[in-house]
């Protein structure tokens, strides 16, 4: 019986089989094989057989995929995950994922997801997350052929991760790579804050750190953060990246605009502020929902200027509804929120959030008519 560890050395192939994607690996008589192929519309599966190859009804064309090769002998199993990129000429590039821990301390953890690429994304999770959680955009980035350095916090607004820590622990890992820093909200703030430590390009969505003193001071409700506990330096006090900084935000979100105007606008060169009116703090969801996000990431990561289409979505309809509600135009607010809710592709969590707002507006309209 073969030792399954030996399958690490097996050759694995993705080939064009009469216009469709076929997965192949080395044959060993004592083994059974299974195959998974993940693509933009889902995952195809082939259960265990004694065949060391399988062909899926997925066209062999330009794109990024994830393939998993399974091997079984008796009750023992092992899987090898491979990231697949097929270019416009039909050339196939395979890369296997290697995960290693760079550093772990009480307040943070930094892991490296290495697919052997020359381009690496450093990502940051949002507020309220723990260092045990899945890194932001990990699957998308790995599947599309990027290494990922995941900076994870322990629900502390990244206050335990200093600028010098990123220089000390992360820079040696990515020094010879083309580096991008990516995040949304708190993660977007971090992408900007730590960019100079690795001299990377920034992709930040609605950057904001709610623990920052300027937001604690101006909060309309009692903040759970204390101004005296904030440990990060000002943007002007750290070394700055000489690469581009791309920021996507909705100028009608008061906290986001205030944070950008007060702290970011005059602190950086090569700053590209791209506004999406009424997309809300969840501007990244709007970009993904309108099928622009992947194209934007691809453009920036290849050194191109991203093409932006200012189109509407359920998120912008809801943003306009919130503005109408603030102006006490309840009928317009209801009309816009119902247009947003008519979007059948909304995720359940988003739909529930929109429904709560719709009920609030209905109650306000009813009260105004009494």
Residue 144: what pLDDT? 87
Task: Reply yes or no on whether the pLDDT at 221 is more than 80.
Answer: no
Q: Give domain limits for the chain.
A: 4-94, 97-301, 314-369
Residue 42: what pLDDT? 85
Task: Reply yes or no on whether the pLDDT at 14 is more than 80.
Answer: yes
Q: Is 182 exposed, middle or buried (0-12, 13-18, 19+ CB in 10 A)?
A: buried
Residue 303's pLDDT band (cuts 50, 70, 90): very high
Give the residue from 156, 117, 158, 114 showing the smallest Cα distance to 138. Answer: 114
Mean pLDDT value across residues 126-146: 92
Residue 206: what pLDDT? 98
Going through the chain in order, the beta strands assigned E by DSSP cover: 12-17, 20-25, 32-39, 42-49, 53-59, 63-73, 76-86, 92-96, 98-104, 108-114, 119-124, 147-153, 178-184, 201-205, 245-249, 271-275
- Calpha distance 286→309 (Å, rounded): 11
Q: What angle do CA 114, 119, 122 make, to 5 degrees?
A: 70
- Calpha distance 359→343 (Å, rounded): 17
Assigned CATH class of 4-94: mainly beta
Q: What angle do CA 197, 124, 39 make, to 5 degrees?
A: 120
Q: Locate 41 and state its tokens.
A: 């519309």
Residue 352's pLDDT band (cuts 50, 70, 90): very high
Specify the CATH number for 97-301; select among 3.40.50.620, 3.30.70.270, 3.20.20.60, 3.40.50.1820. Answer: 3.40.50.1820
Find the range with the poorest average confidence among 65-79, 86-100, 138-152, 225-239.
86-100
Residue 173: what pLDDT? 97
Q: Are 362 and 325 in contact (CB under 8 A)?
A: no
Residue 93's pLDDT band (cuts 50, 70, 90): confident
Residue 243: what pLDDT? 97
Task: Reply yes or no on whether the pLDDT at 1 is more than 80.
Answer: no
Per-residue pLDDT of 156-174, as tens digits, reads 999 999 999 999 999 999 9
Q: Are 22 and 54 in contact (CB under 8 A)?
A: yes
Residue 41: what pLDDT? 80
Mean pLDDT value across residues 40-45: 87
Residue 185: what pLDDT? 98
Q: At CB < 8 A and 24+ separation, what contacts does 333-340 make?
A: 333/361, 334/358, 334/361, 334/362, 334/365, 337/361, 339/314, 340/314, 340/315
Say which residues have a Cβ less than 8 Å from residue 224's Cβ, sequence separation at least 6.
none
Residue 242: what pLDDT? 96
pTM score, whole prediction: 0.83
Q: Locate 102 and state its tokens.
A: 């760079």
Stronger pLDDT, 40 or 243, i.e. the higher one: 243
Residue 111: what pLDDT? 97
Per-residue pLDDT of 163-216, as tens digits, reads 999 999 999 999 999 999 999 999 999 999 999 999 999 999 999 999 999 999
Q: What angle do CA 50, 51, 55 make, to 5 degrees?
A: 145
Q: What angle do CA 227, 229, 230 make, to 5 degrees?
A: 75
Task: Reply yes or no on whether the pLDDT at 239 is more than 90.
Answer: yes
Mean pLDDT value across residues 324-347: 95
Element (H, E) at 331: helix 330-341
Mean pLDDT taken over the chain? 94
SS3 298: helix
Task: Reply yes or no on whether the pLDDT at 217 is more than 80.
Answer: yes
């Amino acid at each position: 019986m073969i030792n399954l560890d030996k399958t690490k050395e097996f050759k694995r192939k993705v080939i064009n089989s009469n216009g469709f994607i076929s997965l192949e690996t080395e044959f060993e008589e004592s083994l059974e094989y299974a195959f998974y192929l993940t693509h933009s519309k889902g995952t195809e599966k082939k259960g265990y057989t004694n065949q060391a190859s399988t062909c899926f009804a997925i066209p062999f064309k330009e794109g990024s995929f994830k393939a998993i090769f399974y091997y079984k002998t008796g009750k023992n199993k092992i899987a090898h995950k491979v990231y697949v990129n097929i270019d416009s000429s039909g050339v196939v590039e395979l890369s296997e994922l290697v995960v290693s821990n760079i550093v772990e301390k009480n307040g943070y953890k930094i892991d490296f997801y290495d697919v052997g690429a020359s381009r690496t994304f450093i990502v940051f999770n949002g507020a309220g997350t723990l260092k045990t959680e899945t890194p932001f955009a990990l699957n998308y980035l790995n599947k599309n052929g990027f290494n990922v350095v995941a900076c994870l916090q322990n629900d502390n607004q990244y206050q335990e991760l200093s600028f010098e820590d990123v220089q000390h622990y992360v820079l040696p890992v990515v020094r010879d790579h083309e580096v991008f820093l990516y995040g949304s909200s708190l993660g977007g703030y971090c992408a900007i804050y730590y960019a100079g430590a690795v001299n990377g390009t920034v992709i930040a969505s609605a950057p904001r750190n709610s623990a920052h003193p300027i937001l604690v001071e101006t909060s309309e409700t009692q903040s759970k953060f204390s101004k005296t506990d904030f440990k990060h330096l000002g943007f002007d006090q750290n070394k700055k990246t000489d690469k581009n900084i791309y920021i996507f935000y909705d100028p009608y979100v008061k906290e986001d605009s205030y944070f950008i105007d007060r702290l970011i606008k005059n602190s950086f060169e090569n700053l590209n502020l791209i506004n999406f009116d009424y997309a809300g703090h969840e501007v990244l969801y709007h970009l993904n929902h309108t099928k622009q996000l992947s194209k934007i990431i691809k453009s920036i990561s290849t050194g191109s200027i991203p093409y932006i289409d200012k189109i509407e979505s359920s998120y912008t309809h809801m943003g306009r509804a919130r503005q109408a509600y603030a102006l006490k135009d309840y009928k317009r607010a209801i009309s816009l929120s119902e247009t947003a809710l008519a979007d059948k592709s909304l995720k359940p969590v988003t739909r529930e959030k929109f429904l709560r707002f719709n009920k609030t507006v209905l109650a306000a309209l009813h009260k105004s008519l009494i």
